[in-house]
């Protein structure tokens, strides 16, 4: 793909097995393109261990997963694993449906003062009170709406 169109410089991998696929694509590309992990960040850890350059998560997960990347890149692998382990429950929980994922991102942006409302267009399936409490618990475990470094 890159040889035919050099303007295509990156690829994001979706699909399983994520780790093996990442390693195979990186080997085949030989450094010609940047490879990103997919699945909203769920496959990020496997991708990092095999040479992925990052991932493309939802807006509310970027900072927390950037921390994982920075720790991993600095050789602080155990700390990176712990940081990933803190955020993965929120990533997985928010991926129950597209509506929930969008709401989680919007609600995080409201909590951070970026948006004034997390209103969704109809016919969005909105979380009930129990789901909202679970979201708050998971966000707290990550360290706030954007993770421990959310003030960057």
Q: Kindly write down the DSSP assignment for every residue of 87-137, as one continuous string.
A: HHHHHHHHTT-HHHHHHHHHHHHHHTTS-S-----TT-----HHHHHHHHH
pLDDT in tens, the chain (152 residues): 667 888 999 999 988 888 899 999 999 999 899 999 988 899 999 999 999 999 988 888 988 999 999 999 999 999 999 999 999 999 999 999 999 999 999 999 999 899 999 999 988 899 999 999 999 999 998 887 676 544 34
Gyration radius (Cα) of the chain, Å: 17
Length of the chain: 152
CB contact set of 67 (below 8 Å; sequence gap of 6+): 83, 147, 148, 149
Angle formed by the axes of helices 129-142 and 77-94, nearest 10°: 170
Q: Which two tokens stand for residue 52?
A: 């992925």
> Would you tell me how many other CB atoms lie within 10 Å of the CB of residue 76?
13
CB 43 within 8 A of CB 19: yes
pTM above 0.75, yes or no: yes
């Amino acid at each position: 793909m890159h040889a035919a169109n050099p303007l295509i410089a990156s690829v994001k991998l979706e699909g399983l097995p994520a780790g093996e696929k990442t390693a195979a694509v990186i080997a085949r590309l030989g450094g010609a393109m940047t490879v990103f992990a997919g699945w909203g960040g769920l496959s990020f850890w496997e991708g990092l261990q095999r040479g992925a350059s990052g991932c493309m998560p939802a807006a509310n997960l970027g900072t927390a997963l950037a921390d994982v990347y920075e720790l991993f890149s600095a050789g602080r692998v155990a700390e990176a694993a712990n940081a990933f382990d803190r955020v993965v429950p929120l990533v997985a929980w928010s991926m129950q449906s597209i509506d929930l994922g969008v709401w989680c991102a919007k609600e995080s942006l409201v909590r951070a003062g970026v948006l004034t409302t997390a209103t969704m267009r109809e016919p969005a399936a909105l979380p009930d009170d129990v789901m909202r409490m679970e979201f708050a618990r998971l966000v707290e475990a990550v360290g706030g709406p954007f993770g421990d470094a959310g003030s960057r």
